[in-house]
Amino acid sequence: MEPAKIIEELQKRLSMQRFQHVLRVTETAKSLANMNGESIESAETAALFHDIAKNMDTDKMKELLKRHDADPLLFKFHKELWHAPAGAIIAREEFGIQDEDILNAIRFHTTGRAHMSKLEMILYIADMTEPGRDFPEVDELRLLSEGPLDQAMRSCITQTLNHLIGKQVPVYPDSIECYNYFVK
Ligand SMILES: [Fe+2]
Ligand SMILES: [Fe+2]
């Protein structure tokens, strides 16, 4: 799908702040794809769509997920997690994206999971390290993102879990499985 068409759609659905984040993630993801021999076009598509559901009404998002048989466990966790699977549904249903790798990259960009593909790792890392992100460990993660993807991913998911545990909030099982997979 034409990036310009997706961008036009994003402007209608996202706040300016979120829209700008998406553009930065897209540039970061394209550069990571280029460095790691992944399709730049796939990285661009996945990144452009990744937060498409971010500003969606919560009830509508819940309804969409239920209609598509999303894991009921999702509703026991913070709604921050919902926009990722909702985004994958929207990319497929409304925009005809059929590439499973792109859809999975969108679906797992918040939680991560075990056995992530190259494209999934690229989007996860790009989302976390885009130039607008500002947290104490981000510079180290940016540096690591220039090396092997699985090592960068291991540090990113460790950082995510540390952050969640620090806040004493529940951790979605996919994230724990992701952590176990990458530190093994
Ligand atoms: Fe997101
Ligand atoms: Fe994002």
CB atoms within 10 A of CB 123: 30
- Please give the distance, rounded to the nearest whole angstrom, from the Cα atom of residue 3 to the centre of ligand 2: 17
pLDDT in tens, 85-100: 999 999 999 999 999 9
Q: What angle do the packed helices 83-93 and 58-67 form, to 10 degrees?
A: 60
Q: Is the pLDDT assigned to residue 156 strictly greater than 90?
A: yes
Compute the average pLDDT of residues 105-125.
98
Domain segments of the chain as ranges: 3-183
- Please give the distance, rounded to the nearest whole angstrom, from the Cα atom of residue 110 to the centre of ligand 1: 6
Cα 16 to chain centroid distance, Å, stands at: 19
- Long-range contacts at 26-35 (CB < 8 A, ≥ 24 apart): 26/126, 27/130, 28/126, 28/129, 28/130, 28/131, 29/122, 29/123, 29/126, 32/122, 32/125, 32/126, 32/145, 32/149, 33/119, 33/122, 35/146
- Please give the distance, rounded to the nearest whole angstrom, from the Cα atom of residue 183 to the centre of ligand 2: 24
pLDDT of residue 1: 84
Q: Is 107 exposed, middle or buried (0-12, 13-18, 19+ CB in 10 A)?
A: buried
The residue to which tokens 């996945």 are assigned: 46
Q: Alpha-carbon distance 117 to 127, whole Å?
A: 16
pLDDT in tens, 59-85: 999 999 999 999 999 999 999 999 999
- Please give the distance, rounded to the nearest whole angstrom, from the Cα atom of residue 41 to the centre of ligand 2: 18
> Closest-lying ligand to the alpha carbon of 127?
2
Compute the average pLDDT of residues 115-125.
99
Fold classified for 3-183: Hypothetical protein af1432 (1.10.3210)
- Please give the distance, rounded to the nearest whole angstrom, from the Cα atom of residue 35 to the centre of ligand 1: 23
Q: Is the pLDDT assigned to residue 36 strictly greater than 90?
A: yes
> Closest-lying ligand to the alpha carbon of 18?
2
The residue to which tokens 């806040």 are assigned: 167
pLDDT of residue 56: 97
- Please give the distance, rounded to the nearest whole angstrom, from the Cα atom of residue 24 to the centre of ligand 2: 9
Q: Alpha-carbon distance 96 to 99, whole Å?
A: 9
- Please give the distance, rounded to the nearest whole angstrom, from the Cα atom of residue 21 to the centre of ligand 2: 7
> Closest-lying ligand to the alpha carbon of 86?
1
Helices first, then strands: H and E counts in the chain: 10, 0
- Please give the distance, rounded to the nearest whole angstrom, from the Cα atom of residue 22 to the centre of ligand 2: 6
